[in-house]
């Protein structure tokens, strides 16, 4: 998933919010492509989201 897709899935958070979460270690695990763009595996995103939902319950 691209950063844009992740932000859209999270109800339109800003890219800045995503990068801030990365700085704080709170974002889903991402990897960098050779061109410098970030990608998130769908499975990592779902696991991250499930962990957040479990913590909130």
Query: Which tokens is 18 given?
Result: 């995503």
pTM to 2 decimals?
A: 0.84
pLDDT tens per residue, range 6-27: 999 999 899 999 999 999 999 9
Residue 57 has pLDDT above 90, yes or no: no
Residue with tokens 């990365």: 22
**DSSP notation for 9-47:** HTTS--HHHHHHHHHHT-SPP-EE-TTS-EE--HHHHHH
Q: What is the dihedral of CA 27, 28, 32, 33, to 10 degrees?
A: -140
């Amino acid at each position: 998933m691209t950063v844009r897709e992740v932000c859209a899935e999270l109800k339109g958070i800003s890219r800045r919010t995503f990068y801030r979460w990365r700085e704080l270690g709170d974002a889903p695990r991402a990897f960098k492509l050779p061109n410098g763009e970030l990608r998130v595996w769908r499975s990592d995103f779902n696991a991250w989201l499930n962990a957040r939902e479990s913590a909130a319950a």
